[in-house]
Each structure stands twice: as structure tokens, then as C-alpha cells.
Structure 1
């Protein structure tokens, strides 16, 4: 099996039985904020796109690149489709001209029989509202000799089925770096922001190492991040100054952490790097540049590399910005009322979970999303808000113009906004913003309403607690860490007070817990 990095979470997997192109992202994403790092524009995308199978893990725009798919990928290829609750991914691919789909069943092993031979695959589909834009997934593939698990930035809860069906995993690709806007966009004192950044940076790498330990693959390829920020106003987000509070550490940082924790089988790959495997044996690792030049891109030469990259992409950034809607125009109150009120009226769980009015500060105009009343309105005199977003009006006008169904996957991941909150993170609020269609909001509301079995318990550090995390049902025997009377679920970094069961991260999500007698 030959595995070639095509940048970020993208890989080209070549076997005797056919090739699979995974998550081929090259064009800027999220209001031209994110670029692949290192630069992958020099790859032969027509050759890569002449593949037997296409796998797009989910609709986040650093995985689903419609321009690249439209221009370079063979429309007669067979798309390996995750088993998602809403058909958005399939519909978007159909719009681009793809017409052959192999529809998988979640966590079920399938055989692909083609003219070149057979491949066994499994797609682990995550279906909770918090997983990507209503869905994220990971791909397992074997050619009979080598087993590869491309987890990209999915966070599977139960991976026993993987080893039961495929045995030992030879190569594991996974995310270790940030794909979020927290804490950078929040209005808070700088010291607190740095402390939260340090915590976020370490937790995401700890989570990745937990997955590595759980899967037990021979070889690990850090992937799916970090992005590169080339716009002048966002350049400070790049991790080029060894800032321990920066949430976007690169591959070299994580490989060093792996080594310091006893794992020396990590592979550094850049776009164009090829690794050849026979089972668990690495037969060859070939970079497109000399090794010292590759390593310099991530270390001593990183700042200059990003500067040069920014210069090459300056025209692309300018063209993208020119295509945004104008900041000027009619007030946004009525368009946002038409957009949001039908969604609000279709959900009880989410609106009640948000529980208070939220302000959108759009230049000179403020629009209030009054979730308790299910209406969009102007602010009241001297009204204060527990949650507010300051967003440039041109971004909102563009999202409205383009019928954007997911502001998380456009405005928020762009980091081109500011947020203020009093109290903890509100999962329901961000779920609302990623579910701006009838199908999505109906599914998400039903998911929150559904009863989950939390009867199983575990004993951990003097407490009997429910086994499954109240957030997204992670197994706390594997992902739970106890420090004093605080439990942290490392899958998403959520915290609970073990004496009271109260969630310290978000509203609701109470944990069943009992302190055991000494």
C-alpha cells in the first residue's frame, strides 16, 4: 500500500486493487481564512483526481473543496459515502456531477469488488449534532496486507469494532491540532486567554495520544491540521513563535510530544510525501524535497515560508474578498428574521437549551435572536446579553445571500468575529448555527430529545460515575481523567464536579456520580 499526503487531512491511497482519494482540499476555506499547510497547490491534481474511489469524510470546507472536486476529480469515480442521518453530503456531490455512490452502513465492513481486485473498507460515521456539520467520519481500508485507518479529525467513541473486523492497524492518520475559534475570538483578559490557550493546546494533543494508544497502530501520521493563516489580519494565529498558548501546533511539535511519551513511529509528511507499506513494515518514505528542507518548513524557516506563501496567494485572497457581499445595504433585521424564525419555531430542545436572547452586533446594527420567544427583534433599551457575537456585516450578508446552511462551517471557523459570554459554553447555541435547514434542525432537535442509556457505571478514583459521558457518550473509563473532585472527558475537554454532578463546561449535561466511602 502506498500512502501519499496531498495536504491537511488529504491522502491518496494506492493499492493493487485501486486508488482512494481522501479529502482533497486545496482552495482557501472559511471566508479565505484557512489555507492548507504546507502549500499543496503544486501537486498534479488531475492525476490525483483520476482515482478509482473518492472519500469525502464530511462537509467541513477543509475536507470538502467543491472547486477542486469540480475541476480535477473524475466524475465517474465511485464515491464512498458515509452513513449520515441527513443527505447533505451526497446532495452536494451530486451537484458537482458525481453519480456513482457506494453507500456504506455505519461501522460495517464492506468489500469493494472492482476490475483491479478487492478492497475491504469500513466507514465509522459519527452522527451527533456536534460531529462536523451533522456528521463526521473515519475510513478504514485494507488491501489484504496493510490496514490503514484515516481518522482525520473525527472523534469516534467506540473503536472496538475496528480491531474486531480488521485486526492490527498498521498506519493511523489523525488530527492532533486545533480546528476551532476558542479562545482567540473571545473578549477576555489576556492572561485568562493565554491560560485557556495553553490548556486547549495540550488537551487536543493529549486526546490524540489517547487515540494512538487505544488503536495501537505501528505507524502514526499526524494530519488534519493545522491550517495556515495568510491574510494579514489573521497571520498572528500561526504557531511560529513557540507560543505555548497557540492552539495550532504543527506536525513537528506533535511528533516531538509523541517521542517524549515513548512513541517513536510517527511519520512527518508534507504534500507529495509518499510512504510505502507492506503490512507493518515501512518500505520507503520519500519526500518531494530533501529532508532538511522539509523539516525547516516546520521549524527555522516556517515564518519565511508562510510569508512567501502569503505573497503567492495575495491575489486569491483579494479576489475572494471582492466576491463578498457589500457591507452596506438594507438593515439585516428582516432577512435574519426570515432566516432564523422558521428554524426557531421548529425546535424546542435547542431553543430551550440556549435559554436566553443572543445579540448579533453587525456594524452599526444589533439584531437579537430571542430564543425563549422564538423571535428575531431589535434590542431593548439598555438590554444586556449573556452571549453576543460581533461580526462584520459583509460576512453575514454573504451568508444570507448564499443560503449558507451552517454558520459554524463558514463565519465561526473563519475566526473573523468576536464573541463575548457570561457563563459556560453553550452547545445548543452552536448546534443551532450549524442547523439552518429544516432537515438538520429536525434531526438535531430529535437527537437531543432522544433518551440515552446511562445505566452502566464505572468506579474511578473514589467515585462511582456513569460510564458514558453525558455530552456525546464517550466511554469515561477510557477518556475520563479525575483530578481531585473534577472529572474531565478528554474527547472534547468537558468538565464535571464529581461531588454534585454539575457540568462545569456547558448548561445541562448533568453527570450521575456518587462519592464512595473510604
Structure 2
């Protein structure tokens, strides 16, 4: 099996039964804020796009690139489709011209031949067959209503492309496939916190340092659980080329930066005694031989440039980013020219028309938010209009007389708000928020319900999310952690705390998403609600 990096979370997997193109992304995402790093525009996308199978893990715009899929990817390719409750991904791909789909079942191994599922077998697949499994994550917090990871096996080599998914149960891999040869996964940041928050710089650096380490700790935890022979750090980081966002790049040795690159994580793996990591850049190809015979590395690695040039991308990163920014300046300018004009009439009525029907359809989410939220249209110091999303009343309104302080609020440029309204965008997280082109503040903890609301701006999405939150989480099983008895499943997204839970100074942290609880009281320190069942064990 031959694995070629095509940038970010993207891979081209060549098997004896055909090629699988995973998450190809080349065009800027999130209002031209994110670009693939290193640069992948020079790849032969016509050849890469002439694939037999296409896998798009989810609809985040650094995984789903509609322009590239429309222009470069073979429409006769069979799409390996995750088992999502809301069919938005399939609809988007159908709109781009794809017609052949293998609709998988979550965490079930399928043997496929072309567009057919031919059943399961313990015997190795034939030369024209593949064994695949897609682990589908379906909580509202997982991507835009869904994220997923793909396992592909041709009988000789098995790869697990986890990209930036966060599976809870990985025991299924060993049960269904035995050994995993190659594990690709995210290790770097893909979020706006803490840099867009209105807080002192010292606090941002403290939170950033903590988040940077936790995301790499989480990745190493996954690596230990999967226990593959080889590990390819992927799915990040992006590079920020717009002058206003260049400070987000990890190119000056800031330990608080949440976007470390592959070499940083590979170095951390080595410092923890793990030498399984492989550095790949766009165009790097690794040939695997079923994991390799005893005493061999089991693969050959070919880079698109001499190794010294590859390493310079990382050792002279600021210069590389500057050169890339110069080349991509016309692309950014063209993207900005496509945005809606900043000026215009009041946005109160358009926002009321969008938000109020969604607010009135949900009890779990509106009540979970539980307070009015301010939406300032403009930039800090130059706010043209304030619109209040009054979730308890399920209304969108102007501020009341004397109403100047809000527990949560956002300041967003008018052109961005007008653009998502113009484009009938169902997910502000997948557009505005991941762009980092906004500012926010909050009093108290993170409100998961609020960001879920912003990614569920259709009847179908909000109905699913409201129902998901209405389901009771199973907390009946218990485990022992460092002298405490706690429920086994995380109150947030049901992660197994025996694998992801860390106890320190009377606090429990779930490293799946970094949420924290006070063990003495069970109170969630990250967000409202989500209490933990915990009790101190006798000495």
C-alpha cells in the first residue's frame, strides 16, 4: 500500500483494489483565513483527483473543498459515506455531481467491491476488494453535525485515517482488524480559543500553553490506544497568511501557540520514547509492506524535495510563510472581494428572520444557553449596531434601555454577517468562528449550547441536536482514578474516563476535549451543567 500526503488531513491511498482520496483541501477556508501548511498548490491535482474512491470525513471547510471537488475529482469515484443522522454531507456531494455512494454503518467493517458491499469475511480481501470501516461521531459537538475516521485494509496493510475526529471506542479496531499498520491523526489546534477572547494577554498565554499541551497529550493517548506500527501526524496546523492573522502562526517559538507543526509533535513523541512518527509534507509518499518484516522499518519514504529542503520549511518557517503569503495575496484579495458589502441597513430584521424560528424550535438548547447574548456588528471600538439574541424569551431584539452588560457576546464585522446571511449559511461555526475574524467575551464558563445553536441553523439540524441533548447520558458504571470513584463516562460526550481522565490537585480533566470538573463537588468547571458523579475513596 502506498500513502501520499496531499496536505493537512488529506491523503491519497493506493491499494491493489484502487485508490482512495481522503479529505483533499487546497483552496482557502473560513473567509480566506486558513491555508494548508505546507503549501500544496503545486501538486498534480488532475492525477490525484482521478481516484476510484473518495472519502470526505465531514463538512468542515478544511476537509470539504467544494471548488476542488467540483473541478478536479473524478465524478465516477465511489464515495465512502459516513453514517450521519443528518444527510447534509451526501446532499453537498450530490450537488457537486457525485452519484455513486457506499453508505456505511457506523463502526461496522464492510467488504466493498466498487459500489457494492459484498459482506464480511475473515479471509483476506480479493485483489479487487477492500475492507473498510468508518467510525462516525454524531454528537452536536462533532464537526458540523458529524465527524469521522476511516479504516482501509487491502489484506496486507491496514491504515486508520483518524484526521481530526475524536472517537470514544477504539477497541473495535483490534476486534475487526487486529493490527493497525499506519495511524494518521490530528495533534494541533483547530479552534479560535483563546486568541479571540477579550482577556488580558497574560491569561491568553496561560490558557494557550495549557491547551497546546493538552491537545498533544490527547493525540499521544490515541496513539497509545491504537498502537499502530507507524504514526503520521496530520490534520494541521493551518497557516494564516492574511496580515491581520499572521500572529496566529507558530513561527517564533511561542509556547502558548496552539498551532504547533508536525516537527514539534514528532519531537514530543521522541521525548516520550516513541519513535514511530513519520514526517510527511504534501507530495511525500510512503510505501508500506504490511508493516514490514521483523527488524525492518517496514516502509520507504520519498519526499518531493531533498530532505534538507523539507526541513527548512520548519526550521525557517517565518521565511516560508512570508513567501507563501506574497504568492497567495491575490487569492486573499479575490476572496475578500466576494464578500458582501459591510455597509447596509439594520441587520435586526434579517437576523430575527433567521434566528427566531430556530430558537422557538428548541427547548434543550435555548434553555441551556439560558441568557441574552449580544451580537455586535462592527469591529471593537467601531460597533454599528447591537442585536440581542434573547434565548429565554426566544426573541431577537434591540438592547433594552440600560442593558449594556451581557454574559456572552460577539463582535463581528458587518461584511461577514451579511455574507453568511446572503449565502444562507447553516453553520456560523464552520464559517465565521473558525475564521478567527471576530472577537468575543464571556462571564463564566464556556457555553456548549450556544455554539451548538450557531452550527444548527436549519430545522433538520436543530431538531437532531435538541433530541441528542434530551437523551440521558449513561453514568451508571464507575471507575477508580487516583483515590476517587467517578462515573466511567464523561458527562460531556461520553468519553471513557479510564482512558482520557487525568486527576491532579482535586480536579479531573477529560483530555478528549479538555473539560474539567471539581472532584469534591462534581461541578463542571468548563461549562454550566454536566455534573460529574464522584466520591473520595477511604484511605
Structure 1 runs (4+) deviating above 4 angstroms are none
Which residue of structure 1 lines up, in the alignment, with residue 208 of structure 2? Answer: 197
- The partner residue of 2:349 within 328, 334, 350 is 334
- Report deviation, 1:516: 1.4
User: Cα deviation per residue 1:44-89 (whole Å; 9 max; x = unaligned)?
Assistant: 1110010000000000000000000000001111000000010000
Q: How does 1:446-457 map to 2 (within 5 A)?
A: 446-457=467-478
Q: Could you tell me which of 238, 249, 266 is aligned with 2:249?
A: 238
Q: Match of 2:119?
A: none
Deviation at 1:382, TM superposition (A): 2.6
Tell me how far apart the structure 2 counterparts of residues 464 and 134 of structure 1 sit (CA, whole Å). Answer: 33
Unaligned runs of 5+ in 2: 115-125, 293-297, 379-383
The equivalent of 2:360 in structure 1 is 345
Q: Aligned residue for 1:284? A: 300
Aligned to 1:295: 311
Q: Which residue of 2 aligns with 1:109?
A: 109
Q: What's 1:378 paired with?
A: 398
Of the three residues 124, 131, 136, the one matched with 2:142 is 131
How far apart, CA to CA, are the structure 1 residues paired with 2:402 and 2:245? 33
Whether 1:218 and 2:238 are equivalent positions in the alignment is no
Residues 75-123 of structure 1: CA distance to partner in whole angstroms, max 9, x if unpaired?
Answer: 1110000000100000000000000000000000001114961100000
Q: Does 1:7 align with 2:7?
A: yes
Offset from partner CA, 1:441-497 (integer Å, 9 cap, x none): 000000000122210001111111100000000000000000121000000000001
Aligned-residue offset at 1:517: 1.6
Equivalent position of 1:172 in the other structure: 183
Tell me how far apart the structure 2 counterparts of residues 279 and 76 of structure 1 sit (CA, whole Å).
29
TM (normalized to structure 1)? 0.99
8 Å Cα contact 1:18/1:116 also seen in 2: no
- Alpha-carbon contact 2:291-2:299 (below 8 Å) kept: no
Q: Does the Cα contact within 8 Å between 1:30 and 1:413 map onto a contact in 2?
A: yes
Asked if 2 retains the 8 angstrom alpha-carbon contact of 1:359 and 1:385, the reply is: yes
The 3-state SS of whatever aligns with 1:411 is helix
The number of residues matched between the two structures is: 517
RMSD: 0.8
Cα 1:331/1:166, change in 2 over 3 Å? same
Which residues in structure 2 correspond to 1:121-160 (within 5 Å)? 121-160=132-171
Give the structure 2 partner of residue 305 of structure 1: 320
Per-residue CA deviation, residues 361-405 of structure 1 (Å, 9 max, x unaligned), is 002100000000000000112311000100001000000000000
Deviation at 1:507, TM superposition (A): 0.5
Q: Which whole-Å CA distance do the structure 1 matches of 2:269 and 2:260 have between them?
A: 13
Task: Provide the C-alpha distance between the structure 1 equivalents of 2:438 and 2:217, rounded to a whole number of angstroms.
Answer: 28
Instruction: Give the Cα–Cα distance (whole angstroms) in 2 for the partners of residues 470 and 439 of structure 1.
Output: 25
- TM-score normalized by the length of structure 2: 0.95
Q: Distance in 1 between matches of 2:84 and 2:10?
A: 21
Give the match for residue 419 of structure 2: 398
Contact 1:358 1:386 in 2 (8 A): yes
